[in-house]
Structure 1
Amino acid sequence: MAVDRVLANLDLNLLMTLDALLRERNVTRTAERLGVSQPAVSGALSRLRRHFGDQLLVRVGNRYDLTPLATRVSVLTGPALAGVRRVFDSTADFDPSGLDREFTVVSSDYAATILGPLVARLLARRAPNARLRLQQTTPYAVDHAADTLRDADGLFIPHGFVTGLPHLDLYEDRWVCIVSADNPDVGDELYLRQLEDLPWVVLFDRPTAYAPAVRQLRMLGIEARVDVIVDGFLQMPFLVAGTRRIALIQERLATLMAPIAGIRILQCPFEVITLHESFWWNPMHTNDPVHVWFRELLIEAADELWPPIDESLPPSV
């Protein structure tokens, strides 16, 4: 059988350059990203333009934009490179100690803080040449999880926001309320009526955001008085401390941050669902030996976490 003519002429370096060019849209930044000279990238761009019969990048004012063809190609280069890596990472006897690659996980700052250090520690021990990239998530990344996972090894996100993709349940947590340690309006117990009076710190405050504070309150018939909107959980305790504000965050994170930020943790005066933190991935990774090994590493890291429920929390009314 004749070898496919395109594959016979394939230069993997061109594929890497194409992927970087379509992401950076700039020859100089692409050269810096790849660690090569600018003339080398310019030469590769010329070859790619001849191959596709298309300019790929066109100047618009002081920037370059993708042509329609380049836009279509840009969604294919990431998965193509991932496939190539999987081929060359696969060996009869997989030995993680010799693994030299980067694992990219899209994560909230909460999951990165709680689970990230454990994963990084195990990865350094088992695969010292491997790297962990914890990439901050956004509402767009969650809303378009399938697209996000084309270029990442996985996504840390609780159940309820991603469907139709393989996942692995890692650990449980629960939502708690936090107030300043010296908040004069809140005693040892938190009352439902106080949730409407106290100003709130909330995450994103949009329908698809995965922090349920505003959504939960509206279900209770309470319209929250939003004082501060943030894009990460780690900021919340410091924006609550020394104020009358209140916020809803995960108990594991609240427990970690309480002595640093000067906050009190209180049980919510309404029923909260258990948070099931999970790892989601693109189906193309399911049978990849390296990815399977990485998922087993995540399970081992999650097993090192303490149980989330703190029975010493005071009840709320």
Structure 2
Amino acid sequence: MLMRAISRAYSGGMAVDRVLANLDLNLLVTLDTLLRERNVTRTSEQLGVSQPAVSGALARLRRHFGDPLLTRVGNRYELTPLAARVAVLTGPALAGVRRVFDSTADFDPSQLDREFTLVISDYAAAVLGPLLARRLGHLAPGVRLRLEQTTPYAVDHVADTLRAADGLVIPHGFVTELPYLDLFEDRWVCIVSEDHPTVGDTLTLHELRTLPWAVIFDRPTAFAPAARQLRMLGIEAQVDVVVDGFLQLPFLISGTRRVALIQERLARMLAPVTGIRILDCPFEVVPVAEAFWWNPMYRNDPAHAWFRELIMASAASLRTPEPRL
């Protein structure tokens, strides 16, 4: 068994290299968290992975140990006798592993010579990109930041995307079963031309049904979530312009009868130069919840860990909600 093997290795009963050859560190982390939380949902939240991924890991652990590890008692789960013994060993084992990796993680960001690639929408690049670039320029002048536009293909083939990039910035709802960091939220708003001939200070659902629209992508796996929500209300937009980026939308609205859905922060940035008005949506809209998704192969890469912390620090100011219109 995994922990018995570790225990024997510590006591000299087995060669350390043989233990490491069979040791899945990700599984060990999941085991430790499961035995502490005794709950698949809380474990997935702690690790930042999906519940199916944790359930799959638990199934592997049960096969490995030949023991259920967690058994239901009423409305909660309890550790089996074997799991209780294993729980005593996971903490020290993980502490030892962390000490090994910590010994290689000491580096000076100011001396770092590396390129970090983010696959990111033009909206997130406009809102988050400058904050991240300024911090990088100050702390790590030798680092190059590459921002690549998100495409439907990149999202549909996220495993391939994250083998070639350091991360993907995209809202929740498109990617699963990968580690992520929650960055910030934004609000969907409607935009119309400043001199729109029929729309006043508010929009109605009837106007959303009858006005022409400019939309982003408009494909089954590429869409603005707010637009999908509009369809769920039975409103099918009369689309006459489709674009592949949010930055284009205000320019295609100005001077026309069109309407579009866009993130409030971006709308506020572009309103002064595009001649648009920002209006509340006439229905309750789920907010944009942007997250940074990354390949678990970078979990123990000290430079990538530093980059993840930098992204979170850069997004900190965006976690304060914009004042309402």
Alignment counterpart, residue 106 of structure 1, candidates 116, 119, 126: 119
How far is the alpha carbon of 1:213 from its aligned partner?
4.5
Aligned to 1:125: 138
Q: Is the 8 A contact 2:243 2:249 kept in 1?
A: yes
Alignment counterpart, residue 286 of structure 2, candidates 273, 279, 284: 273
Q: How does 1:78-227 map to 2 (within 5 A)?
A: 91=104, 93-227=106-240
Aligned to 2:3: none
How far is the alpha carbon of 1:306 from its aligned partner?
6.5
For residues 240 and 321 of structure 2, the distance between their equivalents in structure 1, rounded to whole angstroms, comes to 29
For residues 92 and 282 of structure 1, the distance between their equivalents in structure 2, rounded to whole angstroms, comes to 18
Tell me how large the CA RMSD over aligned residues is. Answer: 1.3
Q: Is the 8 A contact 1:252 1:308 kept in 2?
A: no
For residues 180 and 106 of structure 2, the distance between their equivalents in structure 1, rounded to whole angstroms, comes to 26
For residues 220 and 156 of structure 1, the distance between their equivalents in structure 2, rounded to whole angstroms, comes to 28
How far is the alpha carbon of 1:155 from its aligned partner?
0.3
Q: Deviations over 1:103-143 (max 9, x none)?
A: 00000100000000110110010000000000011001011
For residues 319 and 230 of structure 2, the distance between their equivalents in structure 1, rounded to whole angstroms, comes to 29
For residues 217 and 288 of structure 2, the distance between their equivalents in structure 1, rounded to whole angstroms, comes to 18
- TM-score scaled by length of structure 1: 0.68
For residues 321 and 176 of structure 2, the distance between their equivalents in structure 1, rounded to whole angstroms, comes to 25
For residues 103 and 136 of structure 1, the distance between their equivalents in structure 2, rounded to whole angstroms, comes to 14
Alignment counterpart, residue 323 of structure 2, candidates 297, 302, 310: 310
Aligned to 2:268: 255
Q: Is the 8 A contact 2:112 2:140 kept in 1?
A: yes
Give structure 2 stretches of 5+ with no counterpart: 1-102
For residues 315 and 105 of structure 2, the distance between their equivalents in structure 1, rounded to whole angstroms, comes to 28
Q: How does 1:218-237 map to 2 (within 5 A)?
A: 218-237=231-250
Q: Does 1:297 align with 2:310?
A: yes
How far is the alpha carbon of 1:188 from its aligned partner?
0.5
- TM-score scaled by length of structure 2: 0.67
Q: Deviations over 1:246-305 (max 9, x none)?
A: 000101101111101110101100110021100000010112111110011011111133
Q: Deviations over 1:152-202 (max 9, x none)?
A: 000000000000000000111011100001101110011111001110000
Q: Is the 8 A contact 2:226 2:286 kept in 1?
A: no
Alignment coverage as a number of residue pairs = 223
Counterpart secondary structure, 2:119: strand
For residues 107 and 255 of structure 2, the distance between their equivalents in structure 1, rounded to whole angstroms, comes to 53
Paired AA for residue 308 in structure 1: P
Aligned to 2:97: none
Percent sequence identity is 71
Counterpart secondary structure, 1:193: helix
Give structure 1 stretches of 5+ with no counterpart: 1-89
For residues 106 and 227 of structure 2, the distance between their equivalents in structure 1, rounded to whole angstroms, comes to 51
- In 2 relative to 1, CA 93–218 (structure 1 residues): closer, same or farther, beyond 3 Å? closer
Counterpart secondary structure, 1:308: coil
Counterpart secondary structure, 1:125: helix
Q: Is the 8 A contact 2:192 2:278 kept in 1?
A: yes
Paired AA for residue 159 in structure 2: A
For residues 190 and 309 of structure 1, the distance between their equivalents in structure 2, rounded to whole angstroms, comes to 21
Counterpart secondary structure, 2:310: helix
How far is the alpha carbon of 1:215 from its aligned partner?
1.9
How far is the alpha carbon of 1:92 from its aligned partner?
5.2
For residues 320 and 257 of structure 2, the distance between their equivalents in structure 1, rounded to whole angstroms, comes to 30
How far is the alpha carbon of 1:310 from its aligned partner?
2.8
Greater fraction helix = 2
Give the ranges of 4+ consecutive aligned residues of structure 1 lying more than 3 Å apart after TM superposition.
Answer: none
Q: Deviations over 1:211-248 (max 9, x none)?
A: 13542222111111001000000000000000000000
